[in-house]
Structure 1
């Protein structure tokens, strides 16, 4: 039987904790690097549990998304998934791969088709896990720079960045636009009255046509994803579609990932029917506090009937996401004009660069190259409208002379 002792002191009484309830020393943190795709695939259950315990995680850090991406896009021999455990339990993970472009770098899995990258840190052990992950990343990097693109503000990777013991840099990356996850009437209340009236008129037109909204059940996801991609192709035909969205590997990845994510509540495919025919489809990806409209497709017939597809999709997403208790409706990357109609908040992703001491010159070179590219892009965006206007004026003058 456990015993309890007490020692008397003037004006106070202090008791020792019973031996049976004394706290055990915290288990040591250990780390290793997963190079084997089969082993990475087998991590699904504990990776998903860690993803749930990482409040900052986005859908693009889910195991279903990352493992599916690797199956479609991964290069054999390049996998570098860094794992940190406490007493056998996974408390941190960094899903990376080795790239050579032209300098060796460890880059996130998910590539350019993922809007956010991050690491995973168990919220309960975030500080100690971040320090352990930083040490493990330094070991994994060896002669490579760690290049984390598209890191959302508040991401878990920021903790690793702050405790990194070596050269580091932080740059701006893509712009994202975000709305609060509230019902449509509250989104309309954010708009000037004249714009809100126009939006309500668009909604009434959608309703008057009898367009029906349907959440696709899990067993139909592969067929629905294929239909969405076909509608996406039709929607952008002749207007500069993203080539990767038409590739077989993207279709394979999306069907595989979305089916698994929908089963765990991390994805939803919604179809819109007119007279019994699917005329639009939308894919939304979700995590703890965030949901984002990832991809949609719409039959050109909706454009011919002057249906505002963006408003139709936004209303459906807002209704579903606000009911789920999430706080952020992300429009993900891109600064398209139609997104600004809803007065979203502009949020810049970050690019976090980390290196060991001897690789400081390589880090500075990557940062300088990225800064130069960003400046060039800004100049193009500023000057292109002026150049187009000038070309239009010259064309009009030429037509007049003819």
Structure 2
């Protein structure tokens, strides 16, 4: 095992193909650890000094800890790339080399301990690889609950959805389908050659919704919008993105931004025009995403961070992210 420290963005971009290969062969369980998501994040935000650890075995990438170093009031903290816009974060470790690669990763961080004070693994999901690292006697590690991420367990077939989703929500969904069925409506999905109008509509709808509440909303920030503009084409190319737009009578009524990966689907953000509240465009788009996830064989639908009531209305149950904080005693 050979571990190296990557401190240059160009070097990080250069390993993108290896990074994606590691992520796809089992190193990553969510889109938030993919290069399609994290490289655009680093390009736009760069909140500190890049401090990413790469581990190779026989010249093959077998582990990656996408980190940066923040020098702030809590000292020199190592934090995950993607922080704030990511609902999950983790290190990537090849399942065939989990113990040895993890040990090499920790050894490199130990060797560079004079350069940092604390490693804070934020928003680690319950199955995160970072939670399985074998800490030696020189390390102090503490863990605490971080954020609730409600998850709906999906049935095997679409026909079984009424048994998985509470009856009240099923009635609401069917009623919304009946209401839009009386109008001229369609749902279209973003494609690699046609995504910008759908993303712009999402920005506009989301902002419209939050302005009505006298709040800016998460997409009001120019850098956040620029990040998504860079991430969307990469996510589409990687086959991860589900960006959809609902039109009713040739007017955009709602938009949905989520991800599909393996046995999981993820609902990231959405927006709708309050003028179409009667037709419930949010319910239509979310129900369509859940139905599509079930149809393709997914077993979990993740509503991601936050305990909004509508998530539990769909039958989701809390699953808690963890915050793992590590110090090297050396």
The answer as to whether partners of 2:7 and 2:51 remain within 8 angstroms in 1 is: yes
Give 1:215 deviation, angstroms: 1.3
More helix by share: 1
Indicate which of 292, 301, 312 corresponds to 1:329.
301
Give 1:114 deviation, angstroms: 0.7
Pair 299,310 (structure 1): closer, same or farther in 2 beyond 3 Å: closer
Give 1:242 deviation, angstroms: 5.0
Matches for 1:92-241 after TM superposition, within 5 Å: 92-102=63-73, 103-142=75-114, 143-160=116-133, 162-165=134-137, 166-182=139-155, 185-193=159-167, 196-241=170-215
The 2-side partners of 1:125 and 1:249 are apart by 37
1:365: which partner in 2?
A: none
Give 1:134 deviation, angstroms: 2.1
Find the residue that maps to 2:84 and give its secondary structure: helix
The 2-side partners of 1:319 and 1:193 are apart by 16
Pair 204,113 (structure 1): closer, same or farther in 2 beyond 3 Å: same
2:25: which partner in 1?
A: 53
The CA deviation string for residues 267-315 of structure 1, in whole angstroms up to 9 with x for no partner, is 1211111112222111112333322111112112112xx1223321222
Find the residue that maps to 1:98 and give its secondary structure: strand
The CA deviation string for residues 248-274 of structure 1, in whole angstroms up to 9 with x for no partner, is 211111011111111111112111111
- With 147-156 and 278-287 compared, the bigger mean Cα shift is at 278-287
Give 1:135 deviation, angstroms: 1.8
Find the residue that maps to 1:163 and give its secondary structure: coil
- With 251-260 and 186-195 compared, the bigger mean Cα shift is at 186-195
What is the TM-score when the length of structure 2 is the normalising length? 0.92
The 2-side partners of 1:186 and 1:209 are apart by 28
Kindly report the root-mean-square deviation, in angstroms, between the aligned alpha carbons of the 2 structures: 1.9
Indicate which of 255, 260, 280 corresponds to 2:229.
255
2:9: which partner in 1?
A: 37
The 1-side partners of 2:314 and 2:112 are apart by 44
- With 123-132 and 263-272 compared, the bigger mean Cα shift is at 123-132
Indicate which of 338, 354, 376 corresponds to 2:310.
338
- Rg larger in structure: 1
What is the TM-score when the length of structure 1 is the normalising length? 0.76
1:311: which partner in 2?
A: 283
The 2-side partners of 1:56 and 1:272 are apart by 31
Find the residue that maps to 1:218 and give its secondary structure: coil
The 2-side partners of 1:261 and 1:186 are apart by 30
Can you give the 5+ residue segments of structure 2 that lack an aligned partner in the other structure?
none
The answer as to whether partners of 1:57 and 1:156 remain within 8 angstroms in 2 is: no
The 1-side partners of 2:6 and 2:289 are apart by 37
* Count of aligned residue pairs for this structure pair: 326
The 2-side partners of 1:87 and 1:116 are apart by 30
Instruction: Spell out structure 1 runs of 4+ moving beyond 6 A.
Output: none
Find the residue that maps to 1:91 and give its secondary structure: strand
1:355: which partner in 2?
A: 327
Find the residue that maps to 1:111 and give its secondary structure: coil
| Higher RCO (CA < 8 A, seq sep 6+) | 2
